[in-house]
Amino acid sequence: MPVYAYKGVNQAGKPTKGTISAEGPRAARAQMRSAGVFLTELNESDGGPTEESKTRDGRRGLNFEIKLPQRIPQMDVAMSTRQLATLVSAGVPLVEALSALVQQTEHRGLKNVFAQVRDKVNEGSSLADALVSTSRFDNLYVSMVRAGEASGALDAVLARVADYLEDQVRLNSRVMSILTYPLFMLLFAAVVVGVMVTLVLPQITELLLSQNLELPWYTKMVIGSSDVLRGYWWLLILAGIGIAMLYRAIARTEGGRLFFDQFWLRFPVVGRVIRFLAIARFTRTLGSLLASSVNIVQALGIARHVSNNAVFEQAADAAKESILEGAALATPLRMSGQFPPLVTTMVEVGERSGDLEGMLIKVADTYEEQVETSVTRLTSLLEPVLILVMVGIVGIIIMAVLMPMLQLTESIG
């Protein structure tokens, strides 16, 4: 459905502007008239040419612009959700709150999405159904909003959704900020070694080979590696791309994804971080859904996907089946063998005390701190290892060149 940018005057005589989705310009004008807005300007804002530009160019229907799906940052969604929660909690009607949100949202893609949501709500749809119609909100977001509408606590639920999104963004940002320096060191080391092997070393090897010297085995190995890199670098790149595509194709299958997830969970050091991150995401999502009055079976069905790990998805499915048979949540989680005793004990205590969602949030907070601590320790170990590897490679290259040069000097002397 096209989205139109409009300017006009409301019933109070104040200028107003925003966006609206409608079947056509006539329908857009009718909607704004029914909302009490007298239009002074209406232009299509979905990337298509306006009437003015069509007249100026002298041709109609000719548009070579290629539109790609626009990614909406999660932090922008979190900020808009919190603003909507504030407006709703202040007693502003939902349609007016969405209109205000459209006007103050800076991200163009998100502005159009909320304009579509506002129009759907104005036509009589619930907020959850309007969110579903845009196809830009996941099941977690929609399910919590639907539960908030059913319970009459939409403002509190929207604030909880904003908290959840901000926590996820904050966790991802922390992990990425910790990994930035080691990744930069790895890239720098690769560039230094690449320049030495492909530019500096060939000039020296030509001199050594021209003297007909008997080269050591490690010098021959370094020269051979240099020749392979310079002569077949394109083949190595293609092989790397092929391996990555094969890995991705296998990981997309159900059995392949389960195999790789099990492998990475057992991988030393890294597996610990992956497990803690999956537990943090799973428990925070499950706790947020339960706090929003979503039933536990539906909450488990949504939280299984958020963990982004086939092993934990199987554990969530087993827990859902056990709960349908009348078991408590702690029992199947303990039987899966994927959750540490701390998690199952706190879940069990939460079930006995009637505060399961609160315990799950505490578990998530604990394991998010564990993720940050583990990644920090891993990178602190990785930095000296990268330095030693780089120094070792450079040292081997220097030794492979220096020893024959000394031999050549002695022969000349």
Return the domain boundaries, the chain: 3-57, 74-165, 181-413
Mean pLDDT confidence for 101-127? 87
Same fold, 74-165 and 181-413: yes
pLDDT at 348: 92
Mean pLDDT confidence for 50-57? 42
Is pLDDT at 154 greater than 50 in this prediction? Answer: yes
Kindly report the pTM of this predicted structure. Answer: 0.65
Residue 18 has φ and ψ, to the nearest 5°, of 170, -160
Is pLDDT at 222 greater than 90 in this prediction? Answer: no
CATH architecture of the domain formed by 74-165 = Up-down Bundle (1.20)
Q: Which long-range contacts (CB under 8 A, 24 or more apart) does 146-151 make?
A: 147/289, 147/292, 147/293, 147/294, 148/292, 148/293, 150/293, 151/292, 151/293
Closest CA to 188 of 391, 397, 413: 391
Mean pLDDT confidence for 298-311? 84
Mean pLDDT confidence for 102-113? 86
Residue 287 identity (one-letter amino acid)? G
CATH architecture of the domain formed by 181-413 = Up-down Bundle (1.20)
Going by pLDDT thresholds of 50, 70 and 90, the confidence category of residue 2 is low
